[in-house]
Structure 1
């Protein structure tokens, strides 16, 4: 294809020289500066003029090395990427059991407040992206997403369902998830990215750049079945900010890092602005961006890229206080949050096993109404999984177990009310255990059908004698998950 194009291109050059009489040097310079403008000219010429092109090029004293390179079919020079791509996944599901729709169990999962015995076809994610190389140095990335929840509860008595990415009439809507500019190799092995982008928490996996491709989501490789444990419990998967994404060994890309600062706009830590009080130093408008979150990540591939290790941390702090009438001081102090996470996976041709564990500290996380004080929380969680091949490129299997404790400091005899983290689904009172397993049938590349079982068990941390105690419950869903991707 490239050889044909270059022949036609050269024929077009000949025609321009013959009719207009421009010097060959000037014409060559013009075409090199605007290849897209010159391309239509080539389509109006024939191959019979090819021998004359070589003669005219020689007499005009054009750089013959450059012409040879353009005509060389083995030329491996950079070619700009213009890629429209997308993917989607969803399920045909049957909800065999869920807590009552009035229950607060399972706020973070897709089936929160879904009635028992409901069955439906559902998209859980649709992506539409476009990657554009502006030059060899600069690349732009655009990503639109819709990720609706299966929620059937109206937001008010007069509205229809508005949840996740549903519109006011319940229909799905795209939103801008990524929109950024990448500068490749600001120094050898390191890219600079600014805009809205994936964070290194688990999802920053972009091949062909200096970003890592071995973080937990890509290695688990079944996002279509369920999110990673840090994603499930609301670590930022994307943010608006700036980042350095680099490798310490650019030739082999076995070791690298990510350093990022963002607005923390996906999951702000607290509603620092009280609309019932006037603006002040202790009650600033949160939309003006006073506070930032810092992300750091170190990753490595060992033993001939069979062992993946990843260490991640983030930190954010506010400097505001909140008015809270139920506390002894009537004020809740500044909130801060930081996470430390480790991920390891061992991968072979036949199977891959992985473990991801994190601890997260949230200062002034919730109000203890017994002590009338805002208390900090320590979150601990671990995820174990395995996946492997049954028939290569046709049938695979996967299984996973997660354990999540939202507050290891929880006092079972006390009572808790207001949550100050502004993680809208955070609940310090309920521990969760998640299980999933299934098969993966791949009839063609990038097309998957995955029958699977999705199960979450909820355990109340209150003592059974506490009036706030709720008996244990669970969500059990049987699903046929479908996943396909194109253009990538």
Structure 2
């Protein structure tokens, strides 16, 4: 019965079948291509809608918007240091409230952490970074056997170590070329930004200005930058803040005239020469405070500090000196007046390598005079809001030791810590204390993680 079917009919069926097959194949190919390519223009999208095959040479691929050159920081870091110490001699007058061994009895020995840092840095984007730093810096335990006394500083009532918030700030990178804007609670320009790094042995002792309690951190706003972004040899740091680190009282408290009414002004400039081996730094600050009493009058304190160092991987020499003026800082009981006091200090140190990168040494001397106009025949009382300040006592501080580094960021440092106290009052003056000293032998450990 198929004999009547003509060749023309057969050819027509074949052509129709072939046309359908090619159409389906073209649609499938267009679907596959469209699923793999991100189209970026309307013409291509129109072709998609019309289900027409597209010439691959006409396809525009949208470029990636991700900046692969920038890698955000999400960093948890910290460090800790402490000692096994032996207090070979204590000062009978219990002077030096700014020191770690104030009140520690003779022959006390103990393991002790003196600082634990835990920090976190978070890059919000390319322009903004947030920083949080927790710190625990407990003093040595001063309790005598059989008493209920506990150590002070960053310890809880049950004598457990506690953290406090030391830094919380937001950094705006490159607010203009070479300069960052920082707002929050941060390190001041006083010493942590430069001179403490060059001294390099904060685990042994603070720099001389820090030792006598110049503000190490404060709450405010800062500009930190360089005058030459390409080489970074000349820089500056200015800060306007609350002076809240000068007292333990809360911000704006009636018992704390240092904060809530006036502001502290800090400024620092530095220069690096000879391939950054010769460094000079000049620092100044000024902070006005409300008078302690109406009879005293307006009070303020200000510091001018200079620093110079020669530093290389093999050897470093440094000298730091400051003068600090306390306006109406002391009352003279003899003249019945409030007078200014000017404290002066100098620090000389050296540190360097002894054997490869495993052994090093350090040595330092500080001299401190709390009032260069002190009259031994008069009786003075302090009016400053610095609890560690006393107009009576000159100090000579010495430390020296070895630095064993078995691995990067791990240090074991046997050292000697010594401070001598000399009362400037006449021996017949009420309250006079004979010369004395504190001598401590220590095996200090220091380790860094996350950096």
2:392 to 429, 452, 465: 429
- SS class of match (2:152): coil
- SS class of match (1:424): coil
Structure 1 residue 476 and structure 2 residue 439: aligned?
yes
Provide, for residues 92-128 of structure 1, a one-character-per-residue CA deviation record: whole Å limited to 9, x for no partner.
010000013xx24121110000000000000000000
Structure 1 residue 338 and structure 2 residue 302: aligned?
yes
- SS class of match (2:246): coil
| Structure 1 residue 220 displacement after superposition | 0.5
1:252 to 208, 212, 231: 231
- Contact map agreement 1:271 1:286 (CA 8 A) in 2: no
Distance in 2 (alpha carbons) for counterparts of 1:405 and 1:270: 27
Write out the 4+ residue segments of structure 1 that deviate beyond 3 Å after TM superposition. Answer: 17-23, 56-60, 157-160, 268-275, 284-288, 320-323
Tell me the equivalent position of 2:273. Answer: 302
Tell me: CA distance 1:322–1:21, structure 2 relative to 1, closer, same or farther (3 Å).
same
Distance in 2 (alpha carbons) for counterparts of 1:97 and 1:349: 36
Matches within 5 A, 1:196-235: 196-204=185-193, 215-235=194-214
Distance in 2 (alpha carbons) for counterparts of 1:274 and 1:449: 43
- Contact map agreement 1:454 1:477 (CA 8 A) in 2: yes
Tell me: CA distance 1:272–1:193, structure 2 relative to 1, closer, same or farther (3 Å).
closer
Distance in 1 (alpha carbons) for counterparts of 2:140 and 2:101: 6
1:405 to 361, 365, 369: 369
1:78 to 66, 70, 84: 70
Distance in 1 (alpha carbons) for counterparts of 2:57 and 2:346: 69
- Contact map agreement 2:83 2:442 (CA 8 A) in 1: yes
Distance in 2 (alpha carbons) for counterparts of 1:272 and 1:376: 26
- Contact map agreement 1:269 1:420 (CA 8 A) in 2: no
Tell me the equivalent position of 2:128. Answer: 138
Structure 1 residue 24 and structure 2 residue 24: aligned?
no
Tell me: CA distance 1:287–1:432, structure 2 relative to 1, closer, same or farther (3 Å).
closer
The CA RMSD over aligned residues, in Å, is 2.8
Give the count of matched residue pairs: 406
Tell me the equivalent position of 1:450. Answer: 413
TM-score (norm 2): 0.84
Unaligned runs of 5+ in 2: 1-30, 41-54
Structure 1 residue 317 and structure 2 residue 288: aligned?
yes
- Contact map agreement 1:162 1:168 (CA 8 A) in 2: no
Tell me the equivalent position of 2:164. Answer: 175
Distance in 1 (alpha carbons) for counterparts of 2:363 and 2:301: 31
Provide, for residues 348-404 of structure 1, a one-character-per-residue CA deviation record: whole Å limited to 9, x for no partner.
232000000000000111222222222211000000000010112100000000000
Tell me: CA distance 1:106–1:57, structure 2 relative to 1, closer, same or farther (3 Å).
farther
Tell me the equivalent position of 1:39. Answer: none
Matches within 5 A, 1:32-47: none
- Contact map agreement 1:160 1:168 (CA 8 A) in 2: no
Structure 1 residue 127 and structure 2 residue 117: aligned?
yes
Distance in 2 (alpha carbons) for counterparts of 1:414 and 1:287: 28
- SS class of match (1:24): coil
Distance in 2 (alpha carbons) for counterparts of 1:132 and 1:272: 27
- Contact map agreement 1:24 1:57 (CA 8 A) in 2: no
Tell me: CA distance 1:449–1:416, structure 2 relative to 1, closer, same or farther (3 Å).
same
1:89 to 81, 85, 90: 81
- SS class of match (1:266): helix
TM-score (norm 1): 0.78
Distance in 2 (alpha carbons) for counterparts of 1:480 and 1:431: 28
- Contact map agreement 1:361 1:376 (CA 8 A) in 2: yes
